[in-house]
Amino acid sequence: MNSERKSSAESGRYAYRGLDRMLHEKARLGILTSLMANPEGLLFADLKTLCQLTDGNLSRHLQVLQEAGLVAIRKGGSGRHSQTLSVLTAEGRERFQAYLVVLEGIVQDAAASEKHRQQHQTESSRLATDWVSVRS
């Protein structure tokens, strides 16, 4: 069984190197999907509502995304009526789409595994008596 295990341990098979940590952060994922859905851009207040983020959190993540060149920030109006519009840049769209391909791969990997498991369901090796549970 050991050799069977080893043959399946293809180096880096599940490393998901393309899973860009800049985009993988939960709140930023929401921001980017919102902006994908609204290519004309979103006002700060609307983005906040869509993603259910606090002012501070949204500001912080938008700044990170802007510094990375993924989101462009535009200001309109003046004084008390000034508003902030966030727009996904072309680079942002490209990187997000590359990230989504990796995400889709994870979903497919897991779905294939689950299908295989259901076809070959066996508890044999899991219950092997030469393995003892350890507590953390």
Site for a copy of itself in 99-128 (CB under 8 A): 100, 103-104, 106-107, 109-114, 116-117, 122, 124-126
Segment 66 to 85, residues that bind a copy of itself, using CB under 8 A: 66-67, 72-77, 85
**Cα–Cα distance measured from residue 108 to residue 116, given in angstroms and rounded to the nearest whole number:** 12
Half-sphere exposure of 47 (CA within 13 A, CB side): 33
Nearer to a copy of itself, 91 or 110 (CB): 110
Interatomic CA distance for residues 110 and 74, integer angstroms: 40
Strand, helix or coil for residue 20: coil
User: Could you say which of 42, 58, 61, 95 contacts a copy of itself (CB under 8 A)?
Assistant: 42
Q: How many residues bind a copy of itself (CB under 8 A)?
A: 75
